Every structure is written in C-alpha cells, then in structure tokens.
Amino acid sequence: MFSRGMKLILMVAFQAMSLISISTASLQYNFYGSSCPNAEQTISNVVYGLIDADPSMAPALLRLHFHDCFVMGCDASILLDPTKANGSPEKTAIPLRGYDAVNKIKAAVEAVCPGKVSCADILAFAARDSVAKSGGFVYPVPAGSRDGNVSSAFSVFSSIPSPFFDAGELVQSFAAKGLTVDDLVALSGAHSIGTAHCSGFKNRLYPTVDASLDASYAAALRAACPDGSAADDGVVNNSPVSPATLGNQYFKNALAGRVLFTSDAALLTGQNDTAEKVRENAGDLTAWMARFAASMVKMGGIEVLTGARGEVRRFCNVTNS
C-alpha cells in the first residue's frame, strides 16, 4: 500500500512537471524555499487536520481553488468579504464552503513567516493537500501567485460554467481560461467527491426523467429531491459510489448514467471527443491521476499576478489597504 502510494507520487510528480513547465513559467516550484521553508508543510499539517475533523473540507477546498481561478484568475479574490469599497464581491454570488478553513490555514502560516505567503498560493496548496487526503496522490505545485484587490459578484456568472451547459459550452468555458478539452474532462473527475444541491440537477428529474439517467439512480434522486419545494433544496453526494474518495469513479458513473448534472452527462455527447476521454479516464486510474494533477497545475496558472503585481494579504478575507 505504502510503496504503491510512493510510486504514484513520483510518477504523478514527474508527469505534472513535464507537462506544465511552459504554460506556467511565471510560477515557480519551491517558490517559498528560502522566504518561508516551512510554508508547504505548515499548510499540509493544517489542511490534513481540518479534513480529519471534517472530511467535507476536502471537496470544499478543492472547489474554492477552481472558483478562485476561473473568476479573474487565481488571485484569492474569491476570499474577499463584502466591504463598503467592494460592494458585492465574488463570494456573494455562489455559496461555497471552506472560508473559515482558509483563515485558519493563513493564521498558521502567518505564525511561522508573517507577510510572506499569499492567499492565492494557500488555495492552490490547500487544494493539492485535499487531493492527497481524498485521492491518495500528491503533485508539486508551483507558486508565487499574489493576491488581487478586485472582486465582483458580477463576473462570477460569466466565468463559472453552469451545470446546465452542454458539451460545446463547457469546452468554450474552459478554452476561455486557456484550458483544453483534456483538462475539462480530467478536472471533471473532481465530481467524484463532495455534494450537490437538488436545484442543480432537478431539471433532469422533472417533469420527466432524462433518458441518459440510469433508472434506479433517477428513482433514488427523485426520492432525495421531491418535486416542487424549491425552498427545501436537498443535498446528495456527487458520486453514489465511494463518495469521499477522489478518483476515476466519476467517469465510471458517467458511463453508467449515474452523474448529476446536465454538464456531467454532456461529456458523453460526443463533441470534441469528450466521450472518448471519459472512457480513457474510466479505464485507467493512474493515467487519470497524472492528467488531473497536470490540469490542476495548469488551472492554478490562470491569469496569476506575479512579481510586483498584487500583494500578500495579511488576512485572506480583506485586502491590506
């Protein structure tokens, strides 16, 4: 078990680094090596502890990084609380979880090296550590992204893909962020963990059941999500099988008609060979891990602020000035 894990770590690390070395040239591996040598270890320790106490923090932190990166780049703008100056920041648009966890991680990092480690990098490291805890594989994360001071709810809905998107819209949404169809499919494996509200997939249950849904799964979803009551928005696991294990189960679910969203099922509809890529990932866990790691690093490089741009926030929920 341990030796298999070690093998995966090395293999994934190697492939992740070789695949992204050009596209994220502005971020650097071991960025905090001299300015805060214990940064990554400190973050891992806190994240592992938080996930031990509450396993749902793994999907929460993974999704936070995705939303941060897709809206105005990976600059921790998702973390900013509303103030008089910023009005309605990103976090007011779509409810996400894990904000308290990030504040705790930041406090631990500030205690070892104050003012050095950006909240944007903390989100990338915390996502990596969440993958390690829930998926059993790790990958090196290049860092040096800095924190922005602009955050607007308005930009969220034009940047975050909708669960009602079709394949073409998904491909376009990822392409707008410099991500490929391979990235789209590999990253969708994140839906092997975590939960979703009924409102995101009820369109496939009522008035008639979507033909691409497995019948018994649809029946279970209908029971969990009764028709009508919008106020009572239930929550179900993203994956009906091993819902806390990040892996390629998501792709097996997709092939079996057991995924929640229109956007999940859309990956099987043929555009841009997404269906072929779903089958490839379903059939090879190790290959998916390597692809997922590489795509996470690529996603972590979206529109980053580096060098003298941006700042290192003292508290992740407020800008310094």
Active site positions, annotated: 67
103 near ligand NAG, judged by CB under 6 A: yes
- Which among ligand NAG, ligand HEM, none contacts residue 7 (Cβ within 5 to 8 A by kind)? none
E-assigned strand segments in 87-188: none
Nearest approach in angstroms of CB 132 to ligand NAG is 26
275 near ligand HEM, judged by CB under 6 A: no
Closest to ligand HEM by CB, 234 vs 312, is 234
Binding mask 226-255 for ligand HEM (x = CB under 6 A): ------------x-----------------
CA-wise closest residue to 101 among 81, 82, 126, 125: 126
- Which among ligand NAG, ligand HEM, none contacts residue 317 (Cβ within 5 to 8 A by kind)? ligand NAG
Q: How many residues does the chain have?
A: 321
- Which among ligand HEM, ligand NAG, none contacts residue 91 (Cβ within 5 to 8 A by kind)? none
Long-range contacts for 21-27 (Cβ within 8 Å, ≥24 apart)?
23/178, 23/298, 23/301, 24/142, 24/297, 24/298, 24/300, 24/301, 24/304, 26/144, 26/301, 26/304, 26/306, 27/142, 27/143, 27/144, 27/145, 27/300, 27/301, 27/304, 27/306
Q: For residue 170, what are its two tokens?
A: 């998904």
CA distances from 205 to 87, 210, 290 (A): 37, 6, 34
312 near ligand NAG, judged by CB under 6 A: no
Nearest approach in angstroms of CB 214 to ligand HEM is 19
Looking at 31, 66, 125, 137, which residue binds ligand HEM (CB under 6 A)? 66
Amino acid at 173: S
Decide: 278 and 267 in contact? Cβ < 8 Å: yes
Cα dihedral 64, 70, 76, 78 sign: negative
Looking at 27, 120, 170, 275, which residue binds ligand HEM (CB under 6 A)? 170
Measured N-to-C along each axis, helices 274-283 and 167-175 cross at an angle, to the nearest 10 degrees, of 80
- Count of chain residues binding ligand NAG (CB under 6 A): 17
188 near ligand HEM, judged by CB under 6 A: yes
- List the binding residues for substrate: 161
Give the binding site for ligand NAG (CB under 6 A): 81, 83, 103, 149, 171, 175, 181, 271-272, 309-311, 315, 317-319, 321
- List the binding residues: 68, 71, 73, 75, 77, 90, 161, 191
